[in-house]
């Protein structure tokens, strides 16, 4: 099966994988609000090989979040391949995505993530092994390079394609940049010209005009949204409407709070109240960004310890009748 075949017709805006963010609950919400494709948080191939229960649970999928990829990281081709095969048998993902773009020091120290881009031969071996192990599309998420002096994304993209990759996802910043600076749209365009598989552009897309600009300047096939979707899953519908020249209605405060309530409720349901509330605080603070007195509400959010206190926070927000100052 080709990568394009699993994507719903007309859907060109995807949810990027983000550690600690794109769990099952968030993926389901993103799909409901227009994401054409979503990816899991990074999953350690080594942990899967040890059959770590928490990691296996992290890779579980529901029918409400498809099409969905499980993203693996690691530096051992055989372990990556065996873990991909195991996940395919237990979770039935639509795609296996190989992480070659994470800039986190703890990932790079183990020679995984974007550190792999310093070893083109190893990149080939990992993709080739994983591709031979599974019968679903295999994609690779890369960065522009390790730093500006080693911006080898085009080379790595071509190598991954030759190894069997079915699509290339490119976050057009270097490891050195992390998430600062502007994405290099020219690099995405170069990769699009260099490979024959679909190219997915990623980096600093915050709204419809940003997405349209990336499509126009790079000719990429799809775009991927990361940080701008935190607290704002509505962004997928917003961008879809912009790209199709369809009117879009921004959600009211009441609608935003109802989605936030569902989000946090399900995090507590799946993870337990203690862990769910603590992991939800990042999302809660993002949902209330843009409200009048947002700093006051964020301070309250950071202090909640259980779901009942979260419901009290929602009541406090809804009793504050001033409208949104700005759209997210």
User: Is 127 contained in some domain?
Assistant: yes
User: Is 262 contained in some domain?
Assistant: yes
Specify the pLDDT at position 323: 41
User: Is 142 contained in some domain?
Assistant: yes
Complete edge-to-edge strand list for the sheet that includes strand 199-202: 13-15, 222-225, 199-202, 167-174, 138-145, 95-100, 68-73, 38-44
Claim to verify: residue 192 and residue 267 sit in the same structural domain = no
d(CA 52, CA 49): 8
Q: What is the pLDDT of residues 30-81, one digit of tens each?
A: 999 999 999 999 999 999 999 999 999 989 999 999 999 999 999 999 999 9
User: Is 31 contained in some domain?
Assistant: yes
Range of the domain at 216: 3-243
User: Where a domain ends, among 223, 243, 263?
Assistant: 243
User: Where a domain ends, among 243, 263, 296?
Assistant: 243
Specify the pLDDT at position 319: 86
Specify the pLDDT at position 159: 98
User: Is 265 contained in some domain?
Assistant: yes
Claim to verify: residue 172 and residue 222 sit in the same structural domain = yes
Claim to verify: residue 148 and residue 91 sit in the same structural domain = yes
| CATH classification at residue 140 | 3.20.20.70
How far, CA to CA in Å, does 151 sit from each of 76, 172, 221, 256, 317? 23, 10, 22, 40, 46
Claim to verify: residue 166 and residue 114 sit in the same structural domain = yes
What total of structural domains would you count in the chain? 2
Claim to verify: residue 106 and residue 163 sit in the same structural domain = yes
Which of these, 297, 88, 328, lies nearest to 231 by C-alpha position?
328
- Cβ count within 10 A of residue 307: 18
Q: Is 308 in contact with 277 (CB distance < 8 Å)?
A: no
- Chain-centroid distance of CA 162 in Å reads 25
Claim to verify: residue 272 and residue 235 sit in the same structural domain = no
User: Where a domain ends, among 188, 208, 243?
Assistant: 243
Residue 102 is among the residues annotated as catalytic for this protein: yes
> Across the 328 residues of the chain, what is the mean pLDDT of every consecutive 10-residue run?
93 95 96 97 95 92 96 97 97 97 90 94 98 98 92 96 98 87 93 98 95 97 97 97 95 94 96 96 94 88 94 89 41
d(CA 179, CA 154): 20
Q: Which residue among the candidates 102, 160, 220, 268 is catalytic per the annotation? A: 102
Q: What is the pTM of this model?
A: 0.92
| Apex 285 CA angle, 237 and 68, nearest 5 | 45
């Amino acid at each position: 099966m080709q990568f394009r075949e699993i994507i719903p017709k007309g859907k060109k805006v995807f949810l990027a994988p983000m550690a600690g963010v794109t769990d099952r609950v968030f993926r389901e919400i993103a799909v409901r609000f227009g994401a054409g494709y979503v990816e899991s948080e990074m999953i350690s191939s080594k942990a899967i090989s040890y059959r770590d229960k928490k990691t296996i649970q992290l890779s579980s999928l529901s029918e409400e979040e498809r099409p969905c990829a499980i993203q693996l990281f690691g530096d051992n081709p055989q372990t990556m391949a065996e873990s991909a095969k195991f996940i395919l048998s237990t979770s039935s993902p639509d795609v296996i995505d190989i992480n070659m773009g994470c800039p986190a020091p703890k990932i790079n120290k183990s020679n995984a993530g974007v550190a792999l881009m310093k070893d083109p031969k190893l990149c080939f071996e990992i993709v080739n092994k994983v591709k031979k192990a599974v019968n679903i599309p295999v994609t690779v998420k890369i960065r522009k390079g390790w730093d500006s002096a080693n911006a080898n994304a085009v080379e790595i993209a071509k190598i991954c394609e030759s190894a069997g990759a079915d699509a290339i996802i490119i976050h057009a910043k270097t490891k050195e940049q992390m998430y600062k600076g502007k994405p290099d749209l020219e690099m995405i365009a170069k990769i699009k010209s260099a490979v024959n598989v679909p190219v997915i552009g990623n980096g600093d897309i915050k709204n419809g005009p940003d997405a349209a600009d990336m499509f126009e300047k790079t000719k990429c096939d799809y775009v991927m949204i990361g940080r701008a979707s935190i607290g704002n899953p509505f962004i997928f519908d917003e961008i879809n409407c912009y790209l199709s020249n369809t009117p879009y209605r921004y959600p009211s405060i009441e609608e935003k709070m109802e989605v936030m309530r569902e989000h946090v409720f399900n995090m507590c349901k799946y993870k337990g109240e203690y862990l769910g509330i603590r992991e939800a605080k990042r999302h809660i603070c993002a949902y209330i960004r843009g409200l009048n007195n947002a700093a006051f509400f964020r301070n309250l959010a950071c202090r909640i310890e259980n779901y009942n206190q979260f419901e009290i926070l929602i009541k406090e927000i809804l009793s504050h009748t001033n409208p949104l100052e700005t759209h997210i």
